[in-house]
Amino acid sequence: MILGGAPQPMLGGEQPDEPRAVQITEHIGGMSEVAIDRGLVGEEREPPPAEEPRPAMDERLETSLRARHADDTSPSATMPRVMRRTRYARLSTERPNPASLDLDRLGPRQIARLMNREDARAVRAVGRVGARIAAAVELIVAALGRGGRLFFVGAGTSGRLGVLEAAECPPTFGTPPRLVQAIMAGGPGAVFRSREGVEDDKRAAAREIRRRVRRGDVVVGVSASGVTPFVRAALRTARLRGATTALVACNATRVQQASARVVIDPRPGPEVLTGSTRLKAGTATKLVLNTLTTASMARLGRIHGNRMVDLQPRSWKLRERALRLVEELGGVRRSRAVRVLAESRGQVRLAIVMAWTGGSVQDAARALRTAGGSLRRVLETSRPTPGPARGRRR
């Protein structure tokens, strides 16, 4: 029986109608060095969305804000100059959404319809940056193929999404926990309890990057605003250490300003609840991170077709899924699938090769090594052992 505890995540993840985002220029150590087309990862090529009208501000609120800015003892007056220069009100993720000005007056069904319409904007926004996502995937694949690691760095909701992506890679793709890691502003405790002030701690970000990141790694900053000090400091420090950098943001962001080689900046627009970036910005960010890890692992051979052949059967559901994979891809009956999965100690890819070829664990491991880990290559180049269930492999 293949059951056990799941590994703990490590804290601190080409569309044919699109232009080519990546050009392979030279081979280094058996892997291809990636050159990014600056025309695609620099300024946004598609026309920027039209500015949405800003609602008139309540007179009392406006008076209050003016008085606060005039008060030398206000928090903004005591902030460092570099932080005061960031004009947060100009960020689309901070502006009021004209479509939801009467949110507190709507019924549940009206709110559900409104949020569904706005969520669709997030999906379309991600679709517009497909070339940039592809460019980042090529960087990740090249780095991991040379022995590097992938780090997601963020604060608040953005940081938690990075933690989730890193945590899901071992059970989904069979990766060791150290391969995809997350660095969360405020540490592991901030995953479960909000600590908003830690997003401004640039020293902590630099310290964590220096402690964990090395040359050849990839650091992906995740920041809805695109200007989070923790994330920006992490990316700057990572570049100085020789790591490749990318940024996922939901506002227009320049590559140079972000200290990132690739900027993926879907622009879903203002939130239904003003400034609550766990909503559309969170949705857009999750879609991007999903694509980065899934596409990268597909390119690295950690899936077969659309099957998770490196899943870890540590629950009854996953064990049943693993057995189905061995049955269908290995072309054997259930009883044989149970035996080879047990003999391979739950290593699904090995079990599939054993079922297909009739060989031992050692034979299957040798065949996979010869094929560079590609299950497809093994299945296509080796002859299956005769059996009544043959012909079912996909």
For residue 351, the domain's CATH number is 1.10.8.1080
What is the extent of the structural domain holding 149?
22-45+122-299
Which pLDDT band holds residue 386 (cuts at 50, 70, 90)? low
pLDDT tens figures, 38-61: 434 443 344 444 444 444 444 444
Q: Are residues 368 and 266 in the same domain?
A: no
Distance CA 330, CA 355 (A): 5
Residues 144 and 213 in one domain: yes
The alpha carbon of 364 is separated from its chain's Cα centroid by a whole number of angstroms, namely 32
- The answer to the question of residue 6 being in a domain is no
Residues 6+ apart with CB under 8 A from 223: 154, 155, 158, 231, 232, 247, 248, 249
* Same-domain check for residues 144 and 220: yes
Position 253 scores a pLDDT of 80
Same domain, 214 and 337: no
**Bigger pLDDT: 258 or 357?**
357
Residues 281 and 214 in one domain: yes
Quick check: is 205 in a domain? yes
Given a cut of 60, whether residue 62 has pLDDT beyond it is no
Say yes or no to pLDDT of 259 above 90.
no
| 6 pLDDT above the threshold of 50 | no
**Residue in the block written with tokens 């902030």:** 79
pLDDT tens-digit profile of 270-306?
999 999 999 999 999 999 999 999 999 999 989 999 9
Decide if pLDDT at 216 tops 60.
yes
The reply to whether 343 belongs to the active site is no
Residue, of 72 and 223, whose pLDDT is higher: 223
The predicted pLDDT at position 387 comes to 58
Q: Does 187 share its domain with 329?
A: no
Q: Within 10 Å of residue 390's Cβ, how many Cβ atoms?
A: 13
Higher pLDDT, 27 or 85: 85
**At a CB cut-off of 8 Å and minimum separation 6, what does 294 contact?**
none
Residue 231 falls inside a structural domain: yes
Quick one: 173 and 269 in the same domain? yes
CA-based nearest residue to 150, from 162, 158, 160? 162
25-34, 155-164, 307-316: lowest mean pLDDT where?
25-34
pLDDT score recorded for residue 218: 98
| 264 plus 346 within the same structural domain | no
pLDDT, tens digit, 9 for 90 and up, residues 314-330:
999 999 999 999 999 99
CA 228 distance to own-chain centroid = 18
Residue 100: inside a domain: no
Residue 230 counted as domain residue:
yes
Which of 299, 326, 352 is the last residue in one of the domains? 299
Asked if 199 is an active-site residue, the reply is yes
Maximum Cα–Cα distance for the chain, whole Å? 84
Q: Is the pLDDT at 83 greater than 70, yes or no?
A: no
Both 146 and 291 in one domain: the answer is yes
Instruction: Report yes or no on 59 lying in a domain.
Output: no
**190 and 149 assigned to the same domain:** yes
Q: Is 27 inside a domain boundary?
A: yes
Domain-located, residue 359: yes
Question: What is the average pLDDT value for the chain, to the nearest integer?
Answer: 81
**Which residue, 247, 264, 299, sits at the end of a domain?**
299
Q: CA geometry: angle at 95 spanning 108 and 59, to 5°?
A: 90
Q: Which of 138, 199, 208, 327 is catalytic?
A: 199
Number of structural domains in the chain: 2
Q: Looking at the structure, do residues 175 and 239 belong to the same domain, yes or no?
A: yes
* Mean pLDDT confidence for 331-358: 95
0.95 surpassed by pTM: no
- Domain end point (choices 236, 270, 299): 299
Of the candidates 263, 204, 210, 262, the residue with the CA atom closest to the CA atom of residue 229:
204
pLDDT grade, residue 85 (50/70/90)? low
- Name the strands in the sheet holding 180-184, side by side, starting at the edge strand that comes first in the sequence: 180-184, 150-154, 218-223, 244-249, 262-264
Q: What is the CATH number of the domain that holds 184?
A: 3.40.50.10490
Q: Is the same domain home to 236 and 189?
A: yes
Of the candidates 14, 52, 94, 168, the residue annotated as catalytic is: 168
